[in-house]
Amino acid sequence: MKLPQIGQIIWLSPDTSADEETKTVLKSRIADFTRNAAAIELPIDERTKHMERVKTGSLWKVWYMGDDGLRHDFHTEVMGFREENIPLLLIKLPDPQDIVRTQRRSYVRVPAEVEISVKSQEQDPACHFLAKTLNVSGGGLAFSCEEKYPLKEKQLVNIWLNLPNRKGTVSHAYSTCEITRIEKKTDFCQWVSVKFLDISEGDRQKVIRTCYERQLELNKRGIPDS
């Protein structure tokens, strides 16, 4: 399996048994390699946008996107720091055979009603409204709204999601999205499909968790999810 390359974005989360949704997700970039370690930029918390200085000896799960478009995961340990023009974090490199590739060519869309807020990036005409999704996946979603809203294919919109979970709480996610399809259903209603363009890995994991829980619910009720 191929290691990440210099300049490549990677994500890190604590290597613990805690619920994936509650884990901190950090974002970094490969700056250099030594014989048995990768030097990475000091990670930034995707939620707070603050730089995090993690402890030597702490254990982390790392993932990145390979040239094949699939996610690659490995476990690592923080080995220390290196001071140059900017401080760098040293993480242990895995053996290539210890890298796990996720065989997921696309995200599964699951029927789900999730409350969202949609805001167009265009100011003329501008629109901002609440809607409910028809289906959701880790790569995008579809929602219904009144036809009066001036939306068009290829348009960029900002979407905020309220994601319920089995614990009875609600988490929030945000993404810049591109409208990929608009389908007129009635004189007053349209169905809009979008794909996520700029979503943090932490928020994407929240969406995926909601889809997974929804799939479990449908399976228990004997309802196909596709």
Higher pLDDT, 168 or 114: 114
Q: Between 212 and 177, whose confidence is greater?
A: 177
What pLDDT, in 10s, does the model give residues 192-220? Answer: 999 999 888 889 888 988 888 887 787 66
Each residue of 143-170: pLDDT tens digit?
A: 999 999 989 999 999 999 999 887 788 9
**The predicted structure's pLDDT at residue 186:** 79
Establish if 95 belongs to a structural domain.
yes
Same-domain check for residues 15 and 45: yes
Whether residues 61 and 140 share a domain: the answer is no
Asked if residue 158 and residue 119 are part of one domain, the reply reads yes
pLDDT value, residue 212:
81
* Percent of the chain whose predicted confidence (pLDDT) is above 90: 45
Domain assignment present for 225: no
Mean of pLDDT values over 133-142: 92
Examine the domain organization and report whether 90 and 123 are in the same domain.
no
- CA 165 – CA 158 distance, rounded (Å): 23
Cβ pair 26, 116 in contact under 8 A? no
Domain that holds residue 76: 9-101
The closest of 185, 217, 40 to 112, measured between CA atoms, is: 217
If you ran DSSP here, which 8-state letter would residue 133 be given? E
Q: Give the pLDDT confidence score for residue 17 in this predicted structure.
A: 64
- Is there a single domain that holds both residue 115 and residue 168? yes
- Please answer whether residues 141 and 152 qualify as being in contact, where contact means their C-beta atoms are separated by less than 8 angstroms: no
Domain containing residue 135: CATH number: 2.40.10.220
Domain termination residue (choose one: 101, 123, 155): 101
**18-56 pLDDT tens trace:** 545 556 788 899 999 988 899 999 998 877 778 877 899
2 lies in some domain:
no
Are residues 198 and 159 located together in one domain of the fold?
yes
In a domain, 226, yes or no: no
Let me know whether 68 and 131 are in one domain: no
Predicted confidence at residue 18, as pLDDT, reads 53
Which structure tokens are listed for 11? Answer: 């994500």
The four Cα atoms 172, 173, 176, 182 give a dihedral, to 10 degrees, of -80
Predicted local confidence at residue 105, as pLDDT: 45
Same domain, 42 and 118: no
Q: Is residue 3 part of a domain?
A: no
24 within domain boundaries: yes
Does the pLDDT of residue 136 top 90, yes or no? yes
3, 35 contact by CB (below 8 A): no
Tell me what pLDDT residue 68 has.
67
- Please, are residues 15 and 62 in contact by the beta-carbon 8 Å criterion? no
CATH number at residue 19: 2.30.110.10
Look at residue 215 and give its three-state secondary structure. helix
- The pLDDT of residue 64 is above 90: no
Same-domain status, 67 and 19: yes
Residue 169 near residue 197, CB atoms below 8 Å: no
DSSP class of residue 141? E
**81 located within any domain:** yes
Side chain identity, residue 21: E
Q: What is the pLDDT of residue 156?
A: 95
Query: Is residue 97 domain-shared with residue 118, that is, in the same domain?
Result: no
- Report yes or no: 189 and 144 within 8 Å, Cβ to Cβ: yes
Of these ranges, 124-128, 136-140, 167-171, 200-204, the one predicted with the greatest mean pLDDT is 136-140
pLDDT of 196 reads 93
How many structural domains comprise the chain? 2
**What's this model's pTM, rounded to 2 decimal places?**
0.59
Q: What is the distance between the alpha carbons of residues 204 and 19, in angstroms, rounded to a whole number?
A: 15
